[in-house]
Structure 1
Amino acid sequence: MTHPSWQPWQGNGTPQPWQGSGSPAPQRWQGGGVPQPWAGQGSPSPSMLASHADRERAVDVLRAGFGEGRLEQGEFEKRVGRAYAARTVGELALLVADLPQGPVPHPAPVMHVPGTFLPARPQTNGKAVGSAVCGAVCLLTFGLAGVPAVVLGHAARAEIRRTGEAGDALALTGLVIGWLSTVGWAIILTAMIVAAAASA
């Protein structure tokens, strides 16, 4: 693993673990209270040997604290150096005990956007509405509204493609119902004419 060029143990070439006689010596970043266990994977024992992943997680917390202005440059570099030299999970926990376990989220301010700057909704095409209405009243008019529904539907779809207006679904609905009604009446009239001719 490649260590940063500013790690303190590169002077004599031998990394030294952060240990005192019996227990870690109190540092100025430990605060006045008892350091809380570092929330790594679960709740490991403080005496458990630290893995490369444990060290990297601790360094990530230190970087977040430095980026938020909680640590000065010198103290940040010192702690990172001790994190890479740490032998146990407990040593890493002391290094990050007074820092949030990751970046602190900053909620984005809620800003009111004037209606003038909101995207305008496309206007519904009037012929598309008329086509849908004619298609809906086909049954009430015994299919006489089918032809207007078809004409208005075709005209509405052509205008919608040209202007970008809304209402294509309405125009398509009127078209379908109008054509069904028109074809149905054509079949009925054809059958009546054939029946009349056959009976003559």
Structure 2
Amino acid sequence: MSNPSWQPWQSGQGDSQRAQDVPQSGQDVPRRPWQQAGLPQAWPGSSPPVQGFGQTWQGQTAPSLLASHADRERAVDVLRAGYGEGRLDKGEFDRRVGRAYAARTVGELALLVADLPQGPVPVNQAAPAVPATFLAAPPPTNGKAVGSLVCGILTFFTAGLTGLPAVILGHSARSEMQRTGERGEGLAMTGLVLGWLSVAGWALVITILIAAALASA
């Protein structure tokens, strides 16, 4: 049966060894990088978080990893967002920004922004609806444009006799709408198209009749 590695008579030696490991008063205690920068320390036994702002360092979990310029700028962006939202006062913001630019490791930067959200908090607030009373009234529809459309549709039932009034009303409506800003451009254009088709149809019929009369003479 093997003897245990520690024996009661070795207690004096173990106590003296442990006493040597405990720093005496006045002796410099080794400090971690984030303690040297004057940053708040995390819970005992835990390491500073690596993910704390802007972007996740993929595959980099060591808080002692040296920080890059981009890492510092991301930390400063989060600090600016927190200051803009009123989470930090001016003095605290200035101190943290100075420490961010002076930080050497990712762990130091993570502690600086550990109590801030990941960038600005979005405000999902819909704009209040404006009452209809305060909305500008839409411009009215031009009456001649409506008349042009009606005359253009009636060309199918009057053998094209209302085509010429549709053309006249359509051109008059367009000139008035350009001057007054009224609506009805589509109505006037539809009436003009139907009116000109009927007029062209009548012109074609009259031309054929004249040509037939001349041929029979």
State if a TM-score over 0.5 links the two structures: yes
Q: Which residue of 2 aligns with 1:75?
A: 92
Q: Determine if contact 1:49/1:89 at 8 Å carries over to the other structure.
A: yes
Following superposition, the deviation at residue 30 of structure 1 comes to: 6.1
Q: Deviations over 1:92-125 (max 9, x none)?
A: 1111011012122234453231212212211111
Q: Determine if contact 2:39/2:108 at 8 Å carries over to the other structure.
A: no
What is the RMSD of the two structures over their aligned residues, measured on CA atoms?
A: 2.6
Q: Which residue of 2 aligns with 1:38?
A: 52
Q: Gaps spanning 5+ residues in structure 2: where? A: 1-29
TM-score (norm 1): 0.78
- Partner AA of 2:52 in structure 1: W
Distance 1:178 1:49, change over 3 A: same
SS in 2 for 1:24: helix
RCO greater where, 1 or 2, for CA within 8 Å and sep 6 or more? Answer: 1
Q: Deviations over 1:177-196 (max 9, x none)?
A: 21121022112112112212
Q: Which residue of 1 aligns with 2:176?
A: 159
How many angstroms apart in 1 are the aligned matches of 2:43 and 2:89? 16
SS in 1 for 2:204: helix
The 5 A counterparts of 1:133-152 are: 133-152=150-169
Q: Determine if contact 2:150/2:191 at 8 Å carries over to the other structure.
A: yes
TM-score (norm 2): 0.73
Larger CA deviation: 131-140 vs 37-46: 37-46
Distance 1:31 1:74, change over 3 A: farther
Larger CA deviation: 154-163 vs 70-79: 70-79
Q: Gaps spanning 5+ residues in structure 1: where? A: 1-19
Identical residues among aligned pairs (%): 62
Of the three residues 136, 141, 161, the one matched with 1:119 is 136
Bigger Rg over Cα: 2
The 5 A counterparts of 1:81-120 are: 81-108=98-125, 110-120=127-137
